[in-house]
Chains A and B, each alone.
Chain A
Amino acid sequence: MSAVAPRRKGAKESAATWSVLDRVGLAACWVAGIGLCVVCLAIIGFMFVKGIQYVRPDLLFSRTIASSNEAGSGGYFDPLVGTLLLIVIGIAIALPLGIGIAVWLTEYGRPSGLARLVESGVEVVAGTPSIVLAIFGLAVFQGKLFAFLSFTQQGGGVWGRSFFTAGIMMSLIALPLIVASTREALRSIPNHVREASYALGKTRAATIRRVLLPGARPGIATGATLAMGRIAGDTAIVILLLGGSALTTQGNVPVLNILKGGGSTLTTFVYANSPAGEGNKPDKAYAAAFVLLVIVVALNFGLDLIGGRRGRTAWTK
Chain B
Amino acid sequence: MDEVTSTAHRAAAVPPPVRRIVLDDQPTVVTPGANGNGNGNGTRTPAVRFAASDTAARERMRVEELTIAYAGRVAVRDVTLPVRQGEVLSLIGPSGCGKTTLLRSLNRLTELTPTATRGGRIALDGQDVDELDVTLLRRRVAMVFQQPNPFPMSIFDNVAYGLREQGTKRPGKRDLAPRVEEALRRAGLWDEVADDLGRPALRLSGGQQQRLCIARALAVEPEVLLLDEPCSALDPRSTQTIEDLIVRLRAEVAVVIVTHNLQQAFRVADHVAFMYLGELVEYGPAADVFGNPRARRTREYVSGSFG
Q: Is there a contact between chains A and B in the complex with CB atoms less than 8 Å apart?
A: yes
The answer, yes or no, to whether A10 is at the interface (CB within 8 Å) is: yes
Proximity string of chain B (134-146) to chain A, C-beta cutoff 8 Å, 1 when within and 0 when not: 1110000000000
Which of B77, B118, B136 has a CB less than 8 Å from the CB of A3? B77
* Chain B residue total in the interface (Cβ 8 A): 24
Assess the A3–B135 pair: CB atoms within 8 A.
Answer: no
A8 touches B133 (CB 8 A): no
Task: Give the interface segment out of A11-19, A93-101, A151-159, A205-213.
Answer: A11-19
Residue tally, chain A, CB below 8 Å to B = 15
Interface string of B115-144 (1 = CB under 8 A from A): 011111000000000100111100000000
User: A9-B118, A19-B168 known; A4 and B111 CB under 8 Å?
Assistant: no
Give A1-58 interface residues, CB cut-off 8 Å to B: 1-13, 17, 19
Q: Quick one: given A9-B117, A10-B108, A10-B111, are A4 and B65 in contact (CB under 8 Å)?
A: yes
In this complex, the member of A1, A4, A7, A19 whose beta carbon has the largest number of chain B beta carbons within 10 angstroms is A4
Kindly provide the distance from the CB of B67 to the nearest chain A CB, expressed in whole angstroms.
5
Query: A1-B78, A3-B78, A19-B168 are known contacts. Are A8 and B119 too (CB-CB below 8 A)?
Result: yes
Residue B202 lies at the interface, judged by CB distance under 8 Å to chain A: no
Min CB–CB distance A7 → chain B (angstroms): 4
A113, chain B: closest CB distance, angstroms: 27
B100 at the interface (CB under 8 A from A): no
- Most chain A beta-carbon contacts within 10 A, residue among B29, B77, B110: B77
Contact A13 B168 (CB under 8 A): no
Please provide the chain B residues from 187 to 205 with a CB less than 8 Å away from any CB of chain A in the complex: none
Minimum distance in angstroms from A9 CB to a CB of chain B: 5
B133 touches A3 (CB 8 A): no
228-274 of chain B: CB within 8 A of chain A:
none
Does residue B74 face the partner (Cβ distance < 8 Å to A)?
A: yes
Which residues from A are CB-within-8-Å of B110?
Answer: 10
Chain A residues in 8 Å Cβ range of B92: none
Within 8 Å by CB of B111, from A2, A7, A9, A17, lies A9
Residues from 34 to 74 in B contacting A, C-beta threshold 8 Å: 65, 67-69, 74
Bound Cα distance A10, B114 (Å): 10
With A10-B108, A10-B130 given, is the CB distance from A17 to B118 under 8 Å?
A: no
Chain A residues closer than 8 Å to B68, beta-carbon distance: 6
Closest-CB distance, A118 to chain B (whole angstroms): 30
What is the predominant secondary structure among interface residues of chain A facing chain B?
Answer: loop
Q: Which of B271-297 contact A (CB under 8 A)?
A: 279
Chain B residues with CB below 8 A from A7, complex form: 117-119
Contacts known (A1-B78, A19-B168); A6 close to B67, Cβ less than 8 A: yes
A3's closest neighbor in chain B, by CB?
B77
Instruction: State whether A6 touches B118 (Cβ < 8 A).
Output: yes
Find out whether the CB atom of B78 lies under 8 angstroms from the CB atom of A11: no
* Contact indicator B116/A9 (Cβ below 8 Å): yes
Q: Quick check: B118 and A8 within 8 Å, CB to CB?
A: yes
What's the minimum C-beta distance from B238 to chain A, rounded to whole angstroms? 26
A13 and B119 contact, Cβ closer than 8 Å, known pairs A3-B67, A6-B69, A19-B168: no
Q: What CA separation (Å) do A2 and B74 show in the bound complex?
A: 12
Closest to A13 in B: B134
Residue of A nearest to B131 (CB): A11
What is the distance, in angstroms, from B121's C-beta to the closest C-beta of chain A?
A: 11
> Which of B26, B29, B74 is the most central at the interface, judged by chain A CB atoms within 10 Å of its CB?
B74
Chain A residues within 8 Å of B118, by CB: 6-10
**Chain A residues near B78 (CB-CB < 8 A):** 1-4
Question: From B108, which residue of chain A is reached at the shortest CB distance?
Answer: A10
- Determine whether the beta carbon of B135 is less than 8 Å from that of A6: no
**Which B residues lie within 8 Å of A13 (CB)?**
111, 134-135
Known pairs A10-B130, A17-B135; A5 contacts B168 (CB<8 A): no
Q: Contacts A1-B78, A4-B67; is A17 near B120 (CB within 8 Å)? A: no
Q: Which of A1, A4, A6, A11 gathers the greatest number of chain B CB atoms within 10 Å?
A: A6
Give the chain B neighbours of A4 by CB distance below 8 A: 65, 67, 77-78, 119-120
A263 to chain B, nearest CB (A): 52
Q: In the docked arrangement, what's the CA distance between A316 and B133, Å?
A: 39
Would you mind naming 8 contact pairs between A and B with Cβ atoms under 8 Å apart? A1-B78, A3-B74, A3-B78, A6-B117, A8-B118, A9-B118, A11-B111, A11-B134
Q: Which residues of A are in contact with B by a Cβ distance under 8 Å?
A: 1-13, 17, 19
Q: A5-B119, A10-B116 are in contact. List 6 more A-B contacts (CB 8 A).
A: A4-B65, A4-B119, A8-B117, A10-B110, A11-B111, A13-B111
